[in-house]
Structure 1
């Protein structure tokens, strides 16, 4: 399973724990992932017994679903939280090392040289990719 899939599953479970009445479309929008990815993850979570689906009526003609974490799902989410945090901490440490290495490449103790070049000259636009 890819890191994206692990992260999506974790983020979906985290969101459902707080707001079980969200629709799949709302989950997709909230997490900025595709509706298909949400549907796929939810089906897998239901199949594993981590999530139960309950129908409820929002009006006389419309039905919605509530996605509720089961006790087994709460335990699985705790495991995923530990793994997610461990992976993010490792990424953070690697990023700190990369930043330190880049700073050591700069002249005068980590301060950029005033050579007249500004962010626009080197391709930065609207604050993108700035530290």
Structure 2
């Protein structure tokens, strides 16, 4: 599923839930720029996915049309199909990796990066005798990941581990570079 389809689905879902959203609030909810939201809203309205009704004082109400409901359903199905394939492929890939690591005598790993892939990796890790020594990420703030406190990447030196598994595939190059700059040998870093 490409980013345009995903954004379209997100906007149609938000409008379906609250047709009185301002574009600024929609931009905040989706974490994208106001200009991008404006561009999408115009394009989707021109395609007939919703009607824009002007109400005083200078407010707009968005009403999904039957064509908009149909597009939302089509994109939802596409997203679910994409997500299932992603999950199935990730589970297979991780199962093979953990079997390989177990065969190589690896007893513990650190996850580098929090993502959907990291969650799948955690579930896959439960099937092998490899323990999760810790979790690091380059995002700000500490939070929990399956009971593990997520620490900044530079704190990886405080963990005892055999391998680092990069579990944010979208930012794997940046994380790998950061880890190598910290002196972690490339042979100890795995990118699935």
- TM tier relative to shorter chain: 0.7 to 0.9
Could you tell me whether the CA contact under 8 Å between 1:106 and 1:112 is conserved in 2?
A: no
Tell me the alpha carbon deviations over residues 84-131 of structure 1, each in whole angstroms, 9 at most, x when there is no partner: 111111111122122212211323644149xxxx548xxx24427769
**Which residue of the other structure, out of 73, 80, 87, is the alignment partner of 1:85?**
80
Give 2:156's aligned residue: none
Tell me the alpha carbon deviations over residues 28-63 of structure 1, each in whole angstroms, 9 at most, x when there is no partner: 111112222211111111111111101123xxxx42
Could you tell me whether the CA contact under 8 Å between 1:49 and 1:73 is conserved in 2?
A: yes
Give 1:75's aligned residue: 70
Q: Any runs of at least 4 consecutive aligned residues in structure 1 with deviations exceeding 3 A, and if so which?
A: 128-131
TM-score by length of 1: 0.77
- Number of aligned residue pairs: give it: 119
Could you tell me whether the CA contact under 8 Å between 1:51 and 1:67 is conserved in 2?
A: yes
**Which residue of the other structure, out of 58, 61, 67, is the alignment partner of 1:63?**
58
Give 2:33's aligned residue: 34
Q: Tell me which of the two structures has the higher relative contact order, counting C-alpha pairs closer than 8 angstroms and 6 or more residues apart.
A: 1
Give 1:6's aligned residue: 5
Q: How far apart in 2 are the matches of 1:76 and 1:130?
A: 33
Could you tell me whether the CA contact under 8 Å between 1:51 and 1:70 is conserved in 2?
A: yes
| Bigger share in helix | 1
3-state SS of paired residue (2:63): strand
Query: Which ranges in structure 1 are unaligned for 5 or more consecutive residues?
Result: none
> Does 2:106 align with 1:111?
no
Q: How far apart in 2 are the matches of 1:6 and 1:36?
A: 17
TM-score by length of 2: 0.55
